[in-house]
Amino acid sequence: MKEVLLEVQPRVNVSKGQLSSNRNAGKIPAVFYGKDVKTASITIDEKSFLTIVEENGSNVLVTLNFVEGKKAAIIKHIQRDVISQKPIHIDFQNVSLTDKVEVLVPIHIEGVSDGVKNFGGVMETIVREIRVSCLPGDIPQKVTVDVSPLGIGQRVLVSDLPKLDGVEYLSDPNSLIVHIVTVSAEEEKSADAEGAAEPEVISKGKKDKEGEEGAAPAAGAGTQAGDKK
């Protein structure tokens, strides 16, 4: 297994201003934690981190190079800037190479289904990632699903996903991943959703209008009576 090495620097009592300056200088604040390890606040190089993720995916097993030695970790969470989507904080979780971990893996849809290509169907993706259990060294970057053979009304369930060595799918085997539907079915679903979102309009009948009109003089009469007193 190829070692993916990432250099880290300790981060101690850094103010918000210093954090902002570090980010502008291409340094990302991060935290390293896990079982039987001391939680550590660290800083990593943004360019190096992005290169690792681009080449290996976000489920890559990373070797963090501390001053006191190397430690294996997985990327547990990436916090991104709302506008630029640049990473602004990373959570690294320490792992043992001999203990299984549970992670979410993206599902990659490959090909164009026969139902879409030749019969005007619509592909509807229900699930875009799936939870798996495996050793850190066996974490897949993605799970590829080939939808090209699918016709109208056909689907892919969790039980249909490709078998990967050392990887166990934790979702219900009968859970739907993707299916091919007709355009009319998709339109009906959209129409139902729009209908449910429309507010209920209650029109007033003739009697209601007459009642309202009749009520106005009564209020006026009361006012006049008060004036006479």
Share of the chain above pLDDT 70, in %: 79
Q: Give the Cβ contact number of residue 8 at 10 Å.
A: 20
Same fold flag, 5-95 and 103-197? no
What single-letter DSSP state applies at residue 200? P
Using H for helix, E for strand and C for coil, what is the string for 22-58? HHHCCEEEEEEECCCCCCEEEEEEHHHHHHHHHHHCC
Hunting for tokens 């030695």 — which residue is that? 69
Residue 196 is predicted with a pLDDT of: 54
Class of domain 5-95: mainly beta
How far is CA 80 from each of CA 86, 90, 145, 154, rounded to the nearest angstrom? 5, 9, 28, 37
* CATH architecture of residue range(s) 103-197: Beta Complex (2.170)
Hunting for tokens 């570090």 — which residue is that? 22
Least confident of 64-73, 82-91, 175-184, 219-228: 219-228
Residue 199 is predicted with a pLDDT of: 52
Residue 228 is predicted with a pLDDT of: 43
Residue 162 is predicted with a pLDDT of: 96
Rounded distance, CA 45 to CA 22, Å?
Answer: 10
Q: In what order do the strands lie in the sheet with 155-157?
A: 122-125, 176-181, 155-157
Residue 21, pLDDT > 90, answer: no
Give the start-to-end residue ranges of the domains of the chain.
5-95, 103-197
Higher pLDDT, 48 or 36: 48
Hunting for tokens 């689907």 — which residue is that? 155
Segment of 22-26, 117-121, 189-193 carrying the highest mean pLDDT: 117-121
In tens, the pLDDT along 56-67 reads 999 999 999 999
- 47 phi-psi bin (left φ>0, alpha ψ -120 to 50, beta other): alpha
Residue 47, pLDDT > 90, answer: yes
Hunting for tokens 């106005």 — which residue is that? 216
Q: Is residue 22 classed exposed, middle or buried when 0-12, 13-18 and 19+ CB atoms within 10 A define those classes?
A: middle
Residue 102's Cα: distance from chain center in Å? 16
Residue 224, pLDDT > 80, answer: no
Residue 185 is predicted with a pLDDT of: 54
